Amino acid sequence: MKLTVFNGSTRGSKGNSEILINWFKEGFLKDTSGDVNVHYIKDQDKHPDMIEILKRSETVLLAFPLYTDAMPGIVKKFIDKLADYQGSMSGKSLLFLVHSGFPEACHSRGVERYLKKLTAKLGADYLGTIVKGGSEGLRIMPQMMTRKSRLLFNQIGEQFAGTKSLDPGLLKKLASPERLSPFSRGVYRFMSLIGLNNLYWNGMLKKNGAYKNRFNTPYV
């Protein structure tokens, strides 16, 4: 099977989307007849070429991170350019990969419903959405901490290559937790009280020279 992948991360090949795509590819390419081509939506000057590639592709995976419960602006811009092709993609199959720093999968479900409607408007077949929470730290985690997620992505990719479908049981395992348990919420509240929740984000703010502006309210 030939698979065309569009990576919608603003970080391109240096983001967590690339890691998850590669894990999926590892399983998908166990079938030696598989072929995967990846394109980066952040290269906005290449959008016209990408749309032509999409039109010629039979099976397409669109992967992107969740930015505050929504897709990145560059992904929405790319999707808006497909408006002229509504109802014209019969015979094509679309699947999606949505991931976020939020640990709960429920944050991604609104976008998942949108993607299903989008596929219907384009006239394509909807093959499902892979949802993964807690992905923001993947780039810096040691392999031992990501082994379980990597294995699940491998299994999903391998199963998709063989059946052109996504296994609901594997998707549920990967998405877990759908919502945090009362105990987990209590742990997060405690971590927030002692400042541990913000260590990573404060580090990012300082790295980018924005820490002193973290409480700014420019639209007030």
pLDDT at 115 (0 to 100): 98
CATH among 3.20.20.70, 3.40.50.360, 1.20.120.430, 3.40.50.150 for 2-179: 3.40.50.360
Question: Which sequence spans correspond to the domains of the chain?
Answer: 2-179, 180-220
Distance (Å, rounded) from C-alpha 72 to C-alpha 115? 14
Local mean pLDDT, 10-residue blocks, the chain (220 residues): 96 95 97 90 97 96 92 96 93 97 93 97 97 88 89 97 96 93 76 79 90 90
DSSP 172-185: HHHH--SS--HHHH
Rounded to 10°, the helix 47-56/73-80 angle is 60
In this prediction the pTM is: 0.87
